[in-house]
Chain A
Amino acid sequence: MRPLTEEETKTVFLKLSEYIGKNVERMINRSDERHCFRLIKDRCYYISESVMKASTSISRDSLLHVGTCLGKFTKSGKFRLHITSLEYLAQYAKYKVWVKPSSEMSFLYGNNVTKNGLARITENTPQFAGVVVFSMSSNIPLGFGVAAQSTDHCQTLDPMGNVVLHQADIGEYLRGLEEDIF
């Protein structure tokens, strides 16, 4: 377990800022307890100071995970967000999308959100912006993705057109799609 280097921190913040923008600052400066970012092998974790101090007493071999896993670094140095970071993304999300109950299941199975299933979308969402998907019936975050079209263009889309390109959803907890997420 080690803290992130400058380069790595930059990459992580870049990625996070796509979804939550300036609110990354709120992740760094928290009111209740200071949190920090730590790296175990190639996964980035977001943990509170107390948890971090406690985890230093565990040997490296036996320490599997700490706190919240935000994502992992690929071999080429890029950062990939995992579904486990949804908690924070949903809290501080800049652009949100609400999905109709009828097409909730479709999204949870890993399909993209079509215009048919789109209930609500925040204004002025630029194209390819990071977007968090919520359920309409209960305001539960379902996952996140990338906006396929900007808000204006969504209105002129045909019903089968993609609105949100799927990246991660909470159904993955059951599907276990990627073996090395957990």
Chain B
Amino acid sequence: MGSKKKKSSKKKQHSAPKEEKEDQVDYGATVDAFFPGDDSSAHAEEEDVPVEKGDDDDNDKQGDEGTDEIEDDKKNDEPSDDDEEEEDDDESLEEEEEKTANQTASSLVMMDSEEPCSFDLRNLTAVNSHPLHHESLYKNKNDSESASKKKKKKKQQEIPAEDEKLTINNAAQVLNEEYLLQKATEGCTQLIHALWQLPTERSDAGPMVHLPTYDKIPIPRVLPPPPPKAETKWEKFAKERGIPLNKEKRSRKVWDEATDTWKFRHGYDKANAKDNNWPIMEVGGTDDPYEDPWQKQRDAKFARTEDNRQNQMKNQERAGVLPKGAARKVLKSRTESRKAGREGGGNAGLPVGVPVDMTENKLRGQASTLAALKATQKSTASMGRFDKPVEGEPERKFPVSKKKRKYMAESSTGKTSGKGEQERAAKVLQTVLHGGGVETEKARKKGKLAKGVTAYDYEYDDGSNKALFQKKKGRGGIGKNKKMTKKRIK
């Protein structure tokens, strides 16, 4: 390494202007840098790092050393670093190298002409918040041309060039990629320097750096954070008294003595369950011999579950999840229904599905009966549309769907459509005039008219059955096959 050092210093001087080969820039980490051997050379290492940038450059060009042997994690991240940085710059690395060779490790972080960046090392980001140098950012198209041509065109272009700087999409103005690349390079080198400042440790792959655990540039939340959970009564008490809560300490499974297996602590088939449901239960000392022990067990279980339920609901009430008084109401209804079931009689004796208002010996009343009638009328497959009405039944109303309703054309544009409307109106008028008036309408709606009065009610055969005059049978007969009356014959 030492010899190389000498080599590199010589080579550097030769290779001073090399602006063309920026893409081969190596940001410092090669195999040679990472075989420290002794800690004494750590300092030298740091010095080597910037130096070897130039070294590697030269070596690449000469093909002596490959930068293929990449063993540092950071090196792998470097291509993404380029993308993350804000500005690209085309500053020649060689300048930097020359300077850094004369500087110590600590002052190698930045050069005087460089703009200091801020870092978010966890996200491997270097942020250069200094404004761009506008003049060097844009260059005229003609800058690339030869000097002679420039002189000729200078007069022509002097005035428009200044104006053109203001416009963005103008063809004469081109973004100076070199300036951007220079800025990017600056930022990148600074980032690498900063990364080296972090605590390192050795590993098989080479020196590993511990990135900080915090994001300096935090990504903001999409949604607001969840509100803090309200404390339960027990939690509050425990906090006061200093009792540990044991929230995560209990294991899910417990050793069951009886079956010598691991069983769940709670729930179905739980561990160490007290199995009291034997067909024969002995009467203990204090127990009343006439008491039902199974009922007693069930009651005890119910009481326990109700207590638990009550406590849960009360905690929720306190938290505001449930309205105040909900717990009391629920539990009251539960105990009442349990009691009613116990006692029997009344509704408790009914099978499921019987409407409740039929249970007591009350008369239904007209409104209730009508409502029941409407419900039964609707409860057919076609919602009561095609059922034959019974005598005396009021007219059925069917809900009109807004979607399917088709109105006639709003404006009768042609003569024909206008006439059509007139004809329709005339027809309606005929039915009105010869129909009997308002009273019969009302009577019809109420169902008072005897059925069979109008042709709608009967299936009346007046001899004009289609089948009698239909010339063709089946689907062939459908169409304009009409009975040839005297009127039509004419």
Contacts and interface: CB of A to CB of B under 8 A. Distances in A.
Interface of A: 1-3, 5-6, 9-10, 13-14, 17-18, 21-22, 24-25, 28-29, 34, 36-37, 49, 52-53, 56
Interface string B402-429: 0000011111110000100110111011
17 contacts: A3-B409, A3-B410, A3-B421, A9-B425, A9-B428, A10-B428, A13-B425, A17-B433, A24-B429, A25-B426, A28-B425, A29-B422, A36-B418, A36-B422, A36-B425, A49-B418, A53-B411
A13 B411 contact: no
B429 A25 contact: yes
Contacts of B411: 52-53, 56
Given A5-B407, A13-B428, A25-B429, 17 more contacts: A1-B410, A3-B410, A6-B428, A10-B431, A13-B429, A14-B437, A14-B438, A18-B438, A21-B433, A25-B426, A28-B429, A34-B418, A36-B412, A36-B422, A37-B425, A49-B418, A52-B411
A6 B430 CA distance: 13
Contacts of B457: none
B422 A2 contact: no
Given A10-B431, A17-B433, A34-B418, A2 B410 contact: yes
Residue among A14, A34, A53 with the most chain B CB within 10 A?
A14
Nearest to B431: A10
A61 B412 CA distance: 21
A28 B422 contact: yes
B410 A10 contact: no
Contacts of B426: 25, 28-29
A3 B408 contact: yes
8 residue pairs, one from A and one from B, having the closest CB atoms? A13-B432, A56-B411, A9-B428, A2-B407, A28-B425, A3-B408, A14-B432, A10-B428
A6 B431 CA distance: 11
B393 interface: no
Contacts of B438: 14, 18
B441 interface: yes
A6 B400 CA distance: 14
Contacts of A29: 422, 426
A3 B438 CA distance: 23
Interface in B20-34: none
Nearest to B437: A14
A9 B418 CA distance: 16
A73 to B, nearest CB: 14
A36 B407 CA distance: 15
Interface string B211-238: 0000000000000000000000000000
A134 B433 CA distance: 26
A81 to B, nearest CB: 13
A6 B437 CA distance: 16
Residue among A1, A22, A24 with the most chain B CB within 10 A?
A24
B437 A36 contact: no
A28 B413 CA distance: 18
A13 B425 CA distance: 9
Nearest to B423: A28
A49 B410 contact: no
A75 to B, nearest CB: 13
A25 B425 CA distance: 9
Interface in B362-414: 407-413
Contacts of B421: 3, 36
A14 B409 CA distance: 24
A54 to B, nearest CB: 10
A98 B239 CA distance: 95
Contacts of A49: 412, 418
A44 to B, nearest CB: 12
A67 to B, nearest CB: 14
B407 A3 contact: yes
Nearest to B405: A5
A18 to B, nearest CB: 7
Contacts of B433: 17, 21-22, 24
Contacts of B422: 28-29, 34, 36
Contacts of B408: 2-3
Interface string B278-315: 00000000000000000000000000000000000000
A2 B408 CA distance: 8
A3 B409 CA distance: 8
A5 B418 CA distance: 15
Residue among B426, B429, B431, B433 with the most chain A CB within 10 A?
B429
Contacts of B437: 14, 17-18
A3 B425 CA distance: 11
A165 to B, nearest CB: 16
Residue among B407, B425, B432 with the most chain A CB within 10 A?
B425
A34 B418 CA distance: 8
A82 B433 CA distance: 22
